[in-house]
Amino acid sequence: NERQPSKIPTKQNIRKALKWLVYGCQPGDSLVFHFSGHGTRQKDYNHDEVDGFDEALCPLDHETEGNIIDDEINDTIVKPLTRGTTLHAIIDACYSGTVLDLPFVCRMNKEGRYTWEDQRNPSFYKRTSGGLAFCFSACDDHQTSADTTAFTGTNVRTGAMTYSFVQAIQNERRLTYGHLLNAMRYTIGDVSKAHGASQEPQLTSSDKFDIYSRPVVL
């Protein structure tokens, strides 16, 4: 129903918005990129992916213009981040676990605590220009994400990940990354069980840090 052509989520408009987001970023800037829509994965042709697939976002015109793959997203909004600049990406889409191509992935160990998995590729190590990048994703790279009416009480569907993220941010003060991830996992888990699907929210980062002590500041 969007009437302004510049706000329709076409590939060209999304590309422009991503470039606008980081243009002229300076120390102290806190940037947020939220995408709620379709995601996919496709064959990795430059061999920088551990699983052999690029993760991608699907713009409205993806059938004719193609997807926006993780390599491009990293080049556009991760690499330009200068020292003192912070980016938070919230990606509510299928196959979105590493869609920013950040090198460190938070995984839950057998003891039920999150630890960092180093996915740096010596030949394709992708880094910022001194800034910090964090990405909360709806699910792992091989999983799909759910839309649901469970949270609205109406026939209006909403992304389970987006809802769980907003609820956690609103309901808890001085929320740490670990507590936020757990809160999202708990909320999404109820929806996943109802749909018979597996959906684990993911956190990736440009740097390792203690997720149980660092507060989330958007």
> So what's the pLDDT on residue 153?
65
Where in the sequence numbering do the catalytic residues fall? 38, 94
Domain spans, the chain = 5-141+201-205
**In angstroms, rounded to a whole number, what is the distance separating the alpha carbons of residues 1 and 154?**
20
Exposed (0-12), middle (13-18) or buried (19+): which is 147, by Cβ within 10 Å?
middle
| pTM score of the predicted model | 0.92
> So what's the pLDDT on residue 151?
63
| CATH code of the region 5-141+201-205 | 3.40.50.12660
Q: Is the pLDDT of residue 38 over 90?
A: yes
* Structure tokens, 102: 């950040």
Q: Which residues contact 58 (CB under 8 A, 6 or more apart)?
A: 37, 38, 39, 40, 67, 93
Residue-wise pLDDT for 81-127, tens only, equals: 999 999 999 999 999 999 999 999 999 888 888 999 999 877 777 89
> So what's the pLDDT on residue 45?
87
Residue-wise pLDDT for 150-166, tens only, equals: 666 667 777 889 989 99
Nearest to 107 by CA among 192, 185, 217: 185
> So what's the pLDDT on residue 1?
67
Averaged confidence pLDDT in the chain: 91
Residue-wise pLDDT for 41-51, tens only, equals: 999 988 888 78
Sign, CA torsion 216/86/14/100: negative
